[in-house]
Amino acid sequence: MLKVESIHWKSSLPLTEDYVQDYDKVSDLFEHDPWNESSWAERAAWLDRGNPLAADRGQLVEVLHSYNKAIGNAPQALDAIGKLKQQETLCIVGGQQAGLFSGQALVIYKAITLIRSAKLASEKLGRPVIPVFWIAGEDHDFDEVNHMYYLSQDMQVSKIKIEHPSGKRSTVSSLTISQEQWVTALELLDASLIPTEFKPGWMDLLRAAAAESHTLVDFFGRIIAKLFGAQGLVLVNSDDPKLRRLESPMFAKLIREHEAVNAAVLAGRDQVQALSYSSQVELNERSANLFVLDDDERILLYAAGPDGPYTDRKKERMYTREQLLDWAESTPERFSNNVMTRPLMQEYLFPVLGTVLGPGEIAYWAITRKAFHQIGYQMPIVIPRLEFTILEGTVQKNMHKFGLSLEDVLYRLEDKQEEWLRSQDTLKLEERFAEVRAQFVEGYQPLVELIAGINPGIGKLGETNMGKIIEQIHFLEQKASDGARAQFDASLRHFQRIGLSVVPMGKPQERVYNIFSYLNKYGDSWLYELVDSDLKPDGKHKILYM
């Protein structure tokens, strides 16, 4: 049985911290209190009254079925898609970019939160609620998704990376990755994983997924489907051309109302700032909050006025309103949303009961409430993603050896290491050197002052001379200290292992390491134990004792 402990790990984002700890402070920025049981029924009732602008459910089911079948998702996920035809079926939606080998571990925890939240909501409301994972295939920042990190045997945070195939600012789902690139990345992953009983199975799964994948989005989708399809997790690629055709009316609305939508976004930012929080998104007075694909490049649109014309940032390309509206109807796959309109498009496509967001996402969704209202929508319930840190047996043992608490590791590991080193210093080197320095200065200073009376130049020389001798004492102290430290090399490596395991690069483990090093060591039963547990997304950080 997996031991799970809940702790409060303060968010570095004050708005998110208040959302979780003191909702009343931020209640004006959101629609529903996530900690109030009645919010679920209220949101469901709003959806039942009918969304003023919503995608056709039948067509949505066809698009989802086609995509999920193509990536080999499980029968349970395809059944869940079928349920969407019924008006009573609602969704819990959350998404992420398509990282290499699934990216950071937090991606996996988001999937678990979606499944858990859908299950809890379904029990609360007595109606079907399905989990939907939104793959942000429309993103163009390849450098954000083309790599993964792992902790190497020689205690280095190491990276496996795929190079950009073209160099253009194209969407990630349109960049073809060659079989040679997959093979190289898989070989590097294979070399990074220690031999275990689980390793051959995982490597076979990943090789099979890569062999059928042309893009990072394909590969990512197949991995997530293999891990969670049997739990009914439905996947959607935001850059799927079939989905784009379904989105056509919403793109047209966002083009027509771009000025009002952007004004609402800016007002949302002002409201956030009026509450003394900083805005997590850089906004522009002229932004149309949409991207258009032109010559294989993803261009963010800016508007000169309510009816256009529209340009790129440098004003090198120009588009009329009629041209964009024509494209929205004839070739909607040319369009994609930015960070501010993506939540609105999600609302158009799905009956979203709740959306699962990480700490940074909560902070920027806080800006969107007025934009939702502008379209005639209401914000869904914002569910904080479950956060986890895996505490492996060796790390627990080392912590016990040095008497370290979890708080020590999270907040003051370096101080604790120095404290431990000082406690090992039986020679009391620091004390003795300080004593010698003080005695030297005490004996030498009067002499320097005495000779300064002969000649100020000699006095100055005396001061310099004294400084050099003190410097040499410092030098010897440093060498002696290094020598003493060398005796404790093994122990210092244990401290290093603790730090690199729990807070690599000074960040939470889930934001750095990929999940496969843990799946390789421990198998996947613990993942499904979490899915089937009674864990609730309560905003607390979970420690998993392995």
pTM for the whole structure: 0.90
Take residue 510 and report the two structure tokens written for it. Answer: 């889930």
What element of type H or E holds 90? strand 90-96
Determine contact, residues 22/34, Cβ cutoff 8 Å: no
Whole-number pLDDT of residue 210: 96
Q: Is 289 left (phi over 0), alpha (psi -120 to 50) or beta?
A: left
DSSP string computed for 480-533: HHHHHHHTTHHHHHHHHHHHHHHSGGGS-GGGTB-THHHHHHH-SHHHHHHHHS
State whether the Cα torsion 113-66-336-206 is positive or negative: positive
Cα–Cα distance for residue pair 546/529, rounded to 1 Å: 12
Does domain 1-281+338-385+514-546 sit in CATH 3.40.50.620? yes
Cα–Cα distance for residue pair 275/278, rounded to 1 Å: 9
The helix/strand/coil state of 534 is coil
- E strand map for 186-328: 234-237, 287-294, 297-303, 310-311, 318-319
The helix/strand/coil state of 33 is coil
Eight-state DSSP code of residue 282: -
Cα–Cα distance for residue pair 518/150, rounded to 1 Å: 10
Spans of the chain below 70 pLDDT = none
DSSP string computed for 378-425: -PPEEEEPPEEEEE-HHHHHHHHHTT--HHHHHH-HHHHHHHHHHHH-
The helix/strand/coil state of 160 is strand
Give the type of residue at 393: G
Domain residue extents for the chain: 1-281+338-385+514-546, 402-506
